[in-house]
Amino acid sequence: MKSFNFFVLSILFASATVFAQSVDPKDVDDETSFVSMFNGKDLSEWEGDAELWSVVDGMIVGETATEGSKKIEYNKFLVWKGGDVDDFIMRFEARVSPDGNSGIQYRSWLNPDKDKPFSVFGYQCDFDGINRSTGKIYGENYRKTLAYRGTRAEVGDDHQPKEIERFVDDETLKSQISTNDWNSFEVVADGFTFTQRVNGLLTCVLTDNDKEMRRKSGIVAIQLHKGPAMKVELRNLRIKKTYP
């Protein structure tokens, strides 16, 4: 009997050790040290085209139209005034209209072309109304798609992203993302590795080894996409800066 109990305990210890080694601390649902990015009342912490952005029922709302003052000729962004971010964990919830295409920029920068105010370049956590691309990493004006949903990717000095691994089927992830409803997002920037999750599920990982084009820090901004009239809503935006 003693030998049997020792055998069982050995298996349980080994299993616990493997599990502990496989858990990334960033996966733990810990809200400690997060800072709110939005006061829920006004856009004093953000800057953008006042015709397009507003606060409704404690949410940031961006809305475009096919004509009039809300029509846009290029993608426009609402920029967070919190300054450049380096390594961080950012969490938020978003809802997009069926024809909408949006995303949240990080480690990004404003377009130097003064004829295109509130145009932004950089890394983007993509989300859209029909979840065609929700959860992937896109390069806005910046190398285009960098990591597709369900993949680990790497960018080298040739500036071209390469798929290293497909860890889950795209349709499997898509089935877990709500349409016409709220989804929760997490973006982690750790050195030059970027990890994104939607509704707690890992959607993609990017390692940027492109020494010429990668960015160590930059702004955060929310996208309104040109084209069909659209609406995007965001709430519970918070960030934890994890660099010293």
Q: Does residue 61 belong to any structural domain of this protein?
A: yes
Among 232, 199, 234, which residue's Cα sits nearest to residue 101?
Answer: 232
Are 125 and 101 within 8 A, CB to CB? Answer: no
Q: What is the domain range of residue 122? A: 28-241
Q: Does residue 2 belong to any structural domain of this protein?
A: no
Q: Does residue 21 belong to any structural domain of this protein?
A: no
Q: Does residue 11 belong to any structural domain of this protein?
A: no
Among 244, 240, 243, which residue's Cα sits nearest to residue 30?
Answer: 240
Q: Does residue 13 belong to any structural domain of this protein?
A: no
Q: Does residue 72 belong to any structural domain of this protein?
A: yes
CATH number, domain with residue 147? 2.60.120.560
Q: Does residue 4 belong to any structural domain of this protein?
A: no
Runs of H (alpha helix) within 84-216: 170-174
Q: pLDDT tens string for the chain (244 positions)?
A: 444 344 433 433 333 333 333 334 444 468 989 999 999 999 999 999 999 999 999 999 999 999 999 999 999 999 999 999 999 999 999 999 999 999 999 999 999 999 999 999 999 999 999 999 999 999 999 999 999 999 999 999 999 999 999 999 999 999 999 999 999 999 999 999 999 999 999 999 999 999 999 999 999 999 999 999 999 999 999 999 997 6
Question: What's the number of domains the chain is made of?
Answer: 1
pTM exceeds 0.85: yes
